[in-house]
Amino acid sequence: MPFLDFLKSTLVIGLLESAPLMLAAVGFTLIFCLNGFINIAYAENLTIGAYLAVTFNAMLGWNYYLSIIPASLLAGVVSVLTYLLVFRPAMKRGVGKTEMIILSVGLSFVLRFGINLIYGSELFNFNISKTYYLSFFGMGITSTQLICLGLALIIALGFYLFMYKTNYGQIMRALSDNENLAMVSGINPIKVSILVWFLAGVAGGLAGIFTGVFTWVHSSIGWNVILVILLVAIIGRVGSVRGALIAGASIGIITTAVTLVTQPAYGEIALLIIFIIFLKFRKAEV
Amino acid sequence: MGQILSGYYIYMFSLLLVFIALATILHLQFGVTGIANFGLSIFWGFGMYAFALLVLKLNIPFVLAVILATVLTGIIALVLGRFILNLDSQSVLVATLAFLVIIEVLITQEKWLTNGVMGIGPIPFPFDFGVYTKFVYFLIILLFTVALMLYAGKLHSAPYGRLLLSIQDNEPLAQSLGKPTFRQKIIFFTFTCALAGFFGAMAAPVYNFLFPKYLGAEVTFTLWIALILGSRKRLFGGLVGVLVTVGLFDVLLETVVPIPEQNAVILYNAKYFLYGLTLVLVLMFRPSGILGDKKRSINIRNTSKLEKKEG
């Protein structure tokens, strides 16, 4: 297709499609920022969010948009539970950073296959009552998907505002920078940690719910993208929610560009190669 | 007798041996040298697929194909190692994980080369002793596995092994003492990954048909949990771990205890659920694993003389 069209589609589609990713990256960054380790089990936040939404929507018959609320809130609760029951005790026992990653992979398997045991291995779909089919910049898309992407974008921006413009956001960032100093200033680390994990869980859950609109809901939807989320977090200079947003958008655009030219799989591979390269250039050497 | 020897048991035991070998390699990489390689199954799988392609598409004889597959795997390891081994531990873990996913996707995608999920094969054994073929092959694998463990055992008490341990314990210190840690890590990484490729090539005829899932995250994960469970720092950690995980689930539960067809999927999910749970619990409550940490004693000669002096 002519170059200008290509550019236009890439930018718009890339930006929209990356909205859930940006949300997930924000949540992931919050945890990494606060606790300093890579939580691979975060992938399951997305998956759990999506499955919870399916439970409310397809199984209990709620309206799709309505189900988003309890599903995401519950996802936040689950996230807090993983913190209180697994990660916090582990950190207290002095589990090292690398072992924490392995631990989180283990937890990820527990959650993912636990979901399989509870829900079965079938694929689920959302039950959306009324949806219109539109053509958006040459791409077939439903009105629901468009709304979801829009919501994701708005919520992502909301997180940004929260982190940078409010008191609580400032407290959270202070805590992540220097826990001792924050404590001395009268900030309760446990309460703030719980809040952070809750928000991260909600963000992840929402990301999962919004992703589930585009494809089937299955237990690997989180696992499939966790590396990309990690990539976005790393590129966005871990610790910066702002960075995560920008990186997320760029990644979405790049992926779309590569996918439009070749196949989706190559897009994924390109991302992962970028990922390894970025690891090399951002981390301090041993 | 012939039936037992060529039947399912031999298949399972051969694979068990290969997994033990792989877990021991992982022990050498992570438990001894501190390289958190989450993509070990890739090197194993690469060796397997390379061997298969050499034998099936280029008609290269068995022994040569094994050697070539091993060397090729080593080259891949060298390239990757060169790139990531001077990063910190977390990055190595995550980078190898990314590498794992890349190769997994590639192998499934490049159908013209690997036949994707349809599988590639059948891969013949290098000799034919009729009904005893598989058993003899099993013995050969046993030989190599034992050789590997002997090598690993020797490494534990050799100066080179101590160098590797020092890299894990405190790399900056080792560097300050003039040890070329980066170079050593690359060499050792390349060597051990090549070994993984070797076992991959050897495993190919046992599997007969190769599928991409043999390299997948699940294999890597199984190896990791086996090693952590069995004790990553102990020589026999891999062995114990594999016996408790793969031995228990894949051998015992599926062969000795017959599971009805409908429950197969549940068993699959339950298996990885339990694996994950075990990993979490072990890392939280007994991070040193079943066999515990290795007691490293300082080898002082003439200790008796010292004791007499103090007494």
**pLDDT, tens only, A8-53:** 767 766 776 677 888 888 888 878 877 777 888 998 989 998 888 8
Q: Which residues of A touch B (CB under 8 A)?
A: 37-38, 86, 89-90, 93, 95, 97-99, 101-103, 105-114, 116-117, 121, 227, 230, 263, 265-266, 268-269, 272-273, 275-276, 279-280, 283-286
Q: Give B91→chain A minimum CA distance, Å.
A: 7
Question: Is A68 in contact with A128 (CB distance < 8 Å)?
Answer: no
Task: Read off the pLDDT band of A81 (50, 70, 90).
Answer: very high
**pLDDT, tens only, B62-115:** 889 899 999 999 999 999 888 888 777 777 888 888 888 777 777 766 666 666
Of B105, B108, B283, the CB nearest to A95: B283
Say which residue, A132 or B5, is predicted with more confidence: A132
How high is the pLDDT of residue A285? 44
| CA–CA distance, B155 with B194 (Å, rounded to integer) | 17
Nearest-5° Cα angle at A244, A241 to A246 = 115
How high is the pLDDT of residue A282? 67
Question: What ipTM did this prediction achieve?
Answer: 0.79
Contact B87 A113 (CB under 8 A): no
Q: Is the dihedral of CA B196, B197, B202, B204 positive or negative?
A: positive
Task: Identify the residue among B38, B41, B94 best suited for mutation to test binding to A, counting A beta carbons within 10 A and taking the highest.
Answer: B94
Burial class (CB in 10 A: 0-12, 13-18, 19+), B254: middle
How high is the pLDDT of residue A187? 63
**pLDDT, tens only, B106-116:** 776 666 666 66
Residue-wise DSSP of chain A:
--HHHHHHHHHHHHHHHHHHHHHHHHHHHHHHHHH-S--TTHHHHHHHHHHHHHIIIIIT---HHHHHHHHHHHHHHHHHHHIIIIIHHHHHTT--HHHHHHHHHHHHHHHHHHHHHHH-S--B----S---EEEETTEEEEHHHHHHHHHHHHHHHHHHHHHHHSHHHHHHHHHHH-HHHHHHTT--HHHHHHHHHHHHHHHHHHHHHHHHTTS-B-TTHHHHHHHHHHHHHHHT-TT-HHHHHHHHHHHHHHHHHHHHHS-HHHHHHHHHHHHHHHHHHHSPB-
- The token duo for A33 is 């920022």
Domains and CATH numbers, chain B: 2-310 (1.10.3470)
What mean pLDDT do residues A237-250 have? 65
CB < 8 Å to A97, chain B? 89-90
Domains and CATH numbers, chain A: 15-285 (1.10.3470)
pLDDT tens by residue, chain B, 311 residues: 555 555 777 888 888 889 999 999 999 888 888 888 888 988 998 899 889 888 888 888 888 989 999 999 999 999 988 888 877 777 788 888 888 877 777 776 666 666 666 777 788 887 777 777 788 888 888 889 899 888 888 888 888 888 888 888 888 888 888 778 888 888 999 999 999 999 999 988 888 888 877 777 788 888 888 888 888 888 888 888 888 888 777 766 666 566 666 677 777 888 888 888 988 988 888 877 777 776 655 555 544 554 454 44
Q: Give B285→chain A minimum CA distance, Å.
A: 8
Question: Is B155 in contact with B165 (CB distance < 8 Å)?
Answer: no
**pLDDT, tens only, A185-238:** 666 677 878 888 898 899 899 888 888 777 778 887 887 788 778 877 776 655
How high is the pLDDT of residue B72? 92
